Amino acid sequence: MRDDFLATPLQFLKGVGPRKAADLTRAGLVTVEDLLYRLPFRYEDRSRMQPIASLRPGHKAAVLGEIKSAHLAITRRRGFKIFHAVVGDGSGAIRCTWMNQAFLADILKPHLAVVVFGDVRLDSTGLHFMNPEYELVAEDLSGVHTGRIVPFYEKAGMVTPNMQRRLVRQALDDLPPTLPDLLPLELRDRLRLMPRRTAIEEAHFPPNEAPVDALNAFRTAAQRRLIFEEFFLFQIGYAWRRHASSTELKPFVPTVDDRIRASAAKVLPFKLTPGQRQAVKEIVDDMLQPKPMHRLLQGDVGAGKTIVALLAAVVAMENGLQVAFMAPTEILAVQHYGNIARLLSQSRFRVDLLTGGTPGPQKHAVTAHIERGTTNLIVGTHALVQDTVRFHTLGLVVIDEQHRFGVVQRAALRAKGLQPDVLLMTATPIPRTLALTDYSELDVSKIPDLPPGRTPVRTWVKPESGRDEIYRLVRDQLDAGRQAYVVYPLIEESEKIDLKSATEMADHLQAEVFPAYRVALLHGRMKPDAKERIMQAFVAGRIHILVSTTVVEVGVDVPNASIMVVEHAERFGLSQLHQLRGRVGRGPWESHCVLLYQAPWTDEARERLKAMASTSDGFAIAERDLELRGPGDFFGTRQSGLPKLRTGDLVRDRDIMEDAHREARRLIEDGGLTAELLRFVQQRWQQQFGLIEVG
């Protein structure tokens, strides 16, 4: 959008001196464009003037009248200055009072025409306005702060809402009658988009007949046009990147024959579900293509994603390629390693484990094997990306529970290989909106079914006071030979306190509540080998109750565990609770998940727990989570790779994002990328949207 006027630094606007310019810069407003693309967050209708005689206390009102009298009073107490004015129209008069704004004596002089807007109050002396907004009518007939639908801006540093309103008006007055437009004309006509110049004007200062409800819902033609513009330019970047990467080729393309099929079949310990079979087929078909795979495997907790990935791994290894299998936690990496090593024990493939907890000498040996190519499959954590791990022939990267990883790590691991195939796995379905952004380059396979014999988990939401009843439920399960999880939240600020309460709880449960059973504590601060020992004992059934911080959240698989008690459930996010709940219900027995909450809880927490009790559908839960928390928090703000948007909102405006996504792909596929658009993508896309890489 190289347009001279929009690129003008704000300091060249009238009335913006170096100090104000510095304030604006600190608030992220450098150019006229920055200012004009920072839209109001709400609007208020101050267009209808009310006769003073009709005013009622307790309502907001705007009146137009003449200043009948004015005087500045100084209170004896602490030198408080109070400015009084009386404003009259044909129907009556009303007092206006401003505290500590002595300068008004120089502005609001008798006989001037003024619009006053504010709350009408009633006291012993009658109706009055306290600290109302005002505007001299002679000075500004069009009205900026009153007498119209007025925009409200969020305060940004030292830049007050009123200051922004004035600056915006001034910038708009100086704006040329038409502005260059990056949106192709054909598109604008077809979607009936408003001209850019008009949209900017009306998004800030809507015409008086504009519906205020629609404005506040960001649904007017002007607002939607600007949001579409932003989303479209954003999607053009993705579409272009996708297009550009379609020319990348793998140095070695795997093949599949009967021998390889037989080798994969030998690994299988059970019959695949139809959903798993379909996913394996899609993944392997993709691996046989000359272009690197970028695929997301989505399947609810317990759907059996691991075996699907392992079959893909066998295909890669049979083709002489190495496989990296990355898990988000140490415990999960260890568990995967154990399972995979067992399943591959009859094969000729060597499986190794590399995590932050791998002892030095062993780490040295493992990295040497990886580099030489004698390790066929390496399971690990972040260490696989961060360490100086060099692969011999990396052909497939599997990233489990991938929403835990940032875009950066994904890219880094991908860069280690020679255009390896990448398979991401997640139990957290990608809500539609996000599927159109960071995930839009990915192909998606879904496992819609669960392995046979699972029974749905019964979910209970219980207050702290129901604890005894819950212990009886736990005892019933233990007496029947099952095992239990008790989960504690750990929040960073109070990690010590929480850890202390988890520890005390474990002691209490052992000594007083379940003395006949073995209770153990597992938490994130423990040494890796200590964690592993406890996990192994739990898997083997030697520990009956595992009191844990959320380290059990992802992926842990102990089918005999049939009950989970989540302490302080009100502190957990929805997707996290869903993950946790997925740890039970893995065996043939009826399972329970008890969400214990402690008052006071917020409305949002209540909504969350209600949602958990009412559905076990991971997709519905993810959508609800996104609505409740907003996109920023959904995958963890910093890692998410979500765009920094100026006008649009990923949740509120998801329909616009869908349009933009469709139109951007269409334009690129039709070869309609103009030189200007290409320049925008190359020069401004990353900077504008705060994205990490452009292919």
Residues 331 and 357 sit within 8 Å (Cβ to Cβ): no
Tell the smallest beta-carbon distance from residue 557 to Mg ion (Å).
7
Residue 431's binding partner among ligand ADP, Mg ion, none (Cβ under 5 to 8 angstroms by kind) is none
Residue 47 CA to residue 259 CA, distance in Å, equals 79
Residue 86 CA to residue 68 CA, distance in Å, equals 5
Burial of 646 (0-12, 13-18, 19+ CB in 10 A): middle
**Tokens, residue 243:** 């297009």
Q: Name the residue whose CB lies closest to Mg ion.
A: 555
Q: What angle do CA 688, 186, 230 make, to 5 degrees?
A: 20
Tell the smallest beta-carbon distance from residue 305 to Mg ion (Å).
5
Q: Give how many residues touch Mg ion by CB under 5 A.
A: 1
Tokens 């009956």: give the residue: 544
Residue 63 CA to residue 281 CA, distance in Å, equals 71
Check binding of 303 to ligand ADP (CB under 6 A): yes
Check binding of 557 to ligand ADP (CB under 6 A): yes
Buried b (16+ CB within 10 A) or exposed e, 242-262: beeeeeeebeeebeeeeebee
Nearer to ligand ADP, 10 or 307 (CB): 307
Check binding of 555 to ligand ADP (CB under 6 A): yes
Check binding of 276 to ligand ADP (CB under 6 A): yes
Tell the smallest beta-carbon distance from residue 379 to Mg ion (Å).
13
Nearer to Mg ion, 254 or 555 (CB): 555
Tell the smallest beta-carbon distance from residue 32 to ligand ADP (Å).
52
Residue 401 CA to residue 551 CA, distance in Å, equals 13
Tell the smallest beta-carbon distance from residue 190 to ligand ADP (Å).
43
Three-state secondary-structure class, residue 636: coil
Closest CA to 432 of 654, 149, 600, 125: 654
- Measured between alpha carbons, how far is residue 218 from residues 214, 639, 656 in Å? 6, 28, 11
Residue 585's binding partner among ligand ADP, Mg ion, none (Cβ under 5 to 8 angstroms by kind) is none
Distance of CA 670 to the CA centre of its chain: 32
Q: Give how many residues touch ligand ADP by CB under 6 A.
A: 19
Tell the smallest beta-carbon distance from residue 332 to ligand ADP (Å).
9
Inter-axis angle of helices 221-245 and 196-204, nearest 10? 130
Tell the smallest beta-carbon distance from residue 555 to Mg ion (Å).
4
Residue 146's binding partner among ligand ADP, Mg ion, none (Cβ under 5 to 8 angstroms by kind) is none
Check binding of 643 to Mg ion (CB under 5 A): no
Q: Report the residue from 132, 254, 417, 555 that binds Mg ion according to the rule CB under 5 A.
A: 555
Helices marked H in 175-217 — which ranges? Answer: 185-190, 196-204, 212-216
Q: Identify which range of 445-453, 551-559, 626-634, 668-676 contacts Mg ion by CB under 5 A.
A: 551-559
Report the phi/psi class of residue 641: left, alpha or beta, with left for phi > 0 and alpha for psi in -120 to 50.
left
Q: Are strands 60-74 and 113-123 parallel, antiparallel or unpaired?
A: antiparallel
Nearer to ligand ADP, 220 or 335 (CB): 335
Residues numbered 432-491 forming contacts with ligand ADP, rule: CB under 6 A: 451
Residue 558 CA to residue 483 CA, distance in Å, equals 9
Check binding of 305 to ligand ADP (CB under 6 A): yes
Residue 194 CA to residue 178 CA, distance in Å, equals 12
The pattern of x and - marking residues 224 through 263 that bind ligand ADP according to CB under 6 A reads: ----------------------------------------
Tell the smallest beta-carbon distance from residue 314 to ligand ADP (Å).
15
Is the omega angle on the peptide bond into residue 600 within 30 degrees of 0, that is, cis? yes
Tell the smallest beta-carbon distance from residue 305 to ligand ADP (Å).
4
Closest CA to 693 of 445, 443, 441, 444: 441
Q: Identify which range of 267-275, 283-291, 414-422, 628-636 contacts ligand ADP by CB under 6 A.
A: 267-275
Q: Identify which range of 86-94, 299-307, 368-376, 644-652 contacts ligand ADP by CB under 6 A.
A: 299-307
Q: Report the residue from 30, 113, 172, 272 that binds ligand ADP according to the rule CB under 6 A.
A: 272
Nearer to ligand ADP, 31 or 273 (CB): 273
Residue 134 CA to residue 64 CA, distance in Å, equals 10
- Measured between alpha carbons, how far is residue 608 from residues 35, 486, 635, 658 in Å? 37, 19, 17, 27
Residue 485 CA to residue 474 CA, distance in Å, equals 9
Residue 410's binding partner among Mg ion, ligand ADP, none (Cβ under 5 to 8 angstroms by kind) is none
Tell the smallest beta-carbon distance from residue 519 to ligand ADP (Å).
24
Q: Report the residue from 63, 264, 301, 509 that binds ligand ADP according to the rule CB under 6 A.
A: 301
Q: Identify which range of 221-229, 269-277, 311-319, 628-636 contacts ligand ADP by CB under 6 A.
A: 269-277
Q: Report the residue from 116, 307, 331, 385 that binds ligand ADP according to the rule CB under 6 A.
A: 307
Three-state secondary-structure class, residue 314: helix
Q: Report the residue from 40, 304, 380, 431 that binds ligand ADP according to the rule CB under 6 A.
A: 304
Element containing residue 666 per DSSP (H, E): helix 654-669
Three-state secondary-structure class, residue 214: helix
Check binding of 273 to ligand ADP (CB under 6 A): yes
Residues numbered 558-587 forming contacts with ligand ADP, rule: CB under 6 A: 559, 586
Q: How many residues does the chain have?
A: 695
Nearer to ligand ADP, 137 or 444 (CB): 444
Residue 307's binding partner among Mg ion, ligand ADP, none (Cβ under 5 to 8 angstroms by kind) is ligand ADP
Residue 36 CA to residue 230 CA, distance in Å, equals 13
Q: Report the residue from 12, 41, 80, 270 that binds ligand ADP according to the rule CB under 6 A.
A: 270
Tokens 């009556």: give the residue: 92
Nearer to ligand ADP, 62 or 332 (CB): 332
Three-state secondary-structure class, residue 139: coil
Check binding of 427 to ligand ADP (CB under 6 A): yes
Q: Under the rule (CB under 6 A), what is the footprint of ligand ADP?
A: 270-273, 276, 299, 301-307, 427, 451, 555, 557, 559, 586
Q: Under the rule (CB under 5 A), what is the footprint of Mg ion?
A: 555
